[in-house]
Structure 1
């Protein structure tokens, strides 16, 4: 078997380990689900009456933004899990096994994709309950979901590098919260960008999370007949989002792999 085939085979075993861990400790998945469901319900019912979006129901405007925020936070499980494994010495045990070194990262990031799929399905059902609808074809909807999962997969490699560098789950979670939270909120996910002050508006327009939300809204048919976006990234939301996905993977996959080899060699 080729080295790539070996890495993928070993990675599938590690991914299975992580998925079984979620099955045995369901609190991990429940905690990931509670927050986005609360956001959908609170924003949809509490703030929905105060936030006007021209040409579209606010709940349909909101749900793609919650999707994007949730899968990004879901991708942080990779870093938290690696930091936990480093702290408990599990990485050293992996090092003693006849397995590809990259398998741990491949398996960890792949298992996060599975977790995000489960989360997105449950969130979609929650969205349907509050009035969100997909108004395009099945093919467009699948592309929208694929964009969400691909972006989250790319982010999981960033989180893998951070988890290997920080090494303690507590410190990792604190750092992620203060960085990811503003990145996912200074977007078009919850309110129209036109309501922002000029500086924040410019940041939001070029924020790849905003283009991810815009692209999924377009694929789900959740875009109103109002004014077209004026910023280039939002006008070419899918292209800009895919470019960021490729850039993140090209940069962080080798960085995370090299850091894992260093950490495992200590």
Structure 2
């Protein structure tokens, strides 16, 4: 077999290992899906009446705000899953399993790609749960098949980018406890963007940050694909952010992993 075939086989083995961990310890998956659902219920039923009326639409109220906030809540799922991936990587690095892998004839890259693939599956499944809850509450996307495919592709690209970043954060952490905290700033970005309120309602300095941080163009593109709102150049900016974060996360994770193997 070629080196590429061996790497693919080893990566599939590592993916199965990570999926079995998820099945044996489902509490993390429940937390990833459960936290965005709690925020969805909180913002729709506690704040939705007031915030929905402030959107300026014809209907206003909770129904309009549910449509507005759901894309932001979906992106919160990605940020929450980053913590789970970072913790999983840190556990492998601190508990000695990687040292054992080092003595085996397996591809180095397979350890990281197994975490990335497992994290993506866990995140996308959690997203599906969040969308299902939103639909049960009255979320009604107007997207056709093409728009749905584009939305899923965008989300998969964004999940890939954040997952590689979270792998790097798990590698750079000195302990599992540290790894559980390093991705926390990602949870704030949907709030400091257009996830919950329009950026036009923010003070000028905060509005500048909200409009140019990576979550906002992804949210606006997702909102446009699912609900038909104007997208403008958000799609191009969102893809550029995703590709840049994915490349930076991959290179950072690879350098950290290779450094730890040399030690």
TM-score of Structure 1 vs Structure 2, range by shorter chain: over 0.9
Tell me the equivalent position of 1:162: 169
Offset of residue 236 of structure 1? 0.8
Q: Which has the higher contact order (CA 8 A, sep 6+)?
A: 1
- Per-residue CA deviations over 1:86-116 (Å, capped at 9, x if unaligned) read 1111111111111110111111000111101
Q: Which residue of 2 aligns with 1:231?
A: none
* Distance in 1 separating the partners of 2:148 and 2:44: 21
Separation in 2, partners of 1:105, 1:76: 16
Matched with 1:203 is 209
| Distance across 2 between alignment mates of 1:169 and 1:134 | 39
Q: Aligned residue for 1:98?
A: 105
What TM-score do the two structures reach when normalised by structure 1?
0.91
Q: Secondary structure at the match of 2:190?
A: helix
Matched residue, 1:30: 30
Which stretch of structure 1 is more off in the superposition, 211-220 or 235-244? 235-244
**1:222 Cα deviation after fit:** 5.5
| Preserved CA contact (<8 Å) 2:36 2:130 | yes
TM-score (norm: length of structure 2): 0.92
In the aligned structure 1, how far is the partner of 2:181 from the partner of 2:143? 39
2:250 to 241, 250, 253: 253
Equivalent of residue 150 in structure 1, options 153, 157, 161 = 157
**1:142-176 superposed Cα distances (whole Å, 9 cap, x missing partner):** 21122122112111111111211113121122222
1:4 deviates by 2.8
In the alignment, which residue of structure 2 is the partner of 1:265? 262
Structure 1 unaligned residues grouped into runs of 5+: 229-233
2:222 is aligned with 1:216: yes
| Structure-to-structure mapping, 1:234-253, within 5 angstroms | 235-253=232-250
Match status 1:187 vs 2:193 = yes
Residues 189-226 of structure 1: CA deviation (Å, up to 9, x unaligned): 01111111000101111111000000000110163xxx
Over the residues paired in the alignment, what is the CA RMSD in angstroms? 1.6
